[in-house]
Amino acid sequence: MRPSKRDAHTLAGAYVMDAISAPDRERFERHLAGCEECAREIASLREATAVLGAAAAEPLPAGLKERVMAAAAMTRQQPPADEAQARPNTQGSWLRSLAWPGRLALAA
């Protein structure tokens, strides 16, 4: 699908993330050559992408995945939608057992 001249502006984010087809890339680059608004947006998005890419992720606390999976296995699942209307969930949520602030961990 060919973007119209007006729709070309919506491709800026996908262009920066290299998430558009080669023909759309070529069309957007032709548009970009004459559009100062898109040029500014591309510069801003590239800067934001670089900052996000440089962010360091913290490792998960030891055993977190196992605790979450165990809590999920013990949590009563919601019935199908038609049954859910007749019988609401009164069990509560496993999210209440999460210890907050600081780091994500399940209460023992």
pLDDT in tens, 49-72: 888 877 766 788 899 999 999 999
φ, ψ of residue 61 to 5 degrees: the values are: -60, 145
**Token digits of residue 40:** 């500014």
- Reported pTM: 0.45
Percent of the chain with pLDDT over 70: 69
| Strand ranges, E, within the chain | 98-99, 105-106
Residue 7 binned pLDDT confidence (cut-offs 50, 70, 90): confident
For residue 18, the one-letter residue type is D
Q: Within a 10 A sphere around the Cβ of 28, how many other Cβ atoms?
A: 22
Of 6-10, 20-24, 102-106, the range with the lowest mean pLDDT is 102-106
Task: Average the pLDDT over 30-44 and give the result.
Answer: 93
φ, ψ of residue 87 to 5 degrees: the values are: -140, 95
Q: Within a 10 A sphere around the Cβ of 32, how many other Cβ atoms?
A: 19
pLDDT in tens, 97-108: 555 444 444 444
> What are the counts of helices (DSSP H) followed by strands (DSSP E) for the chain?
5, 2
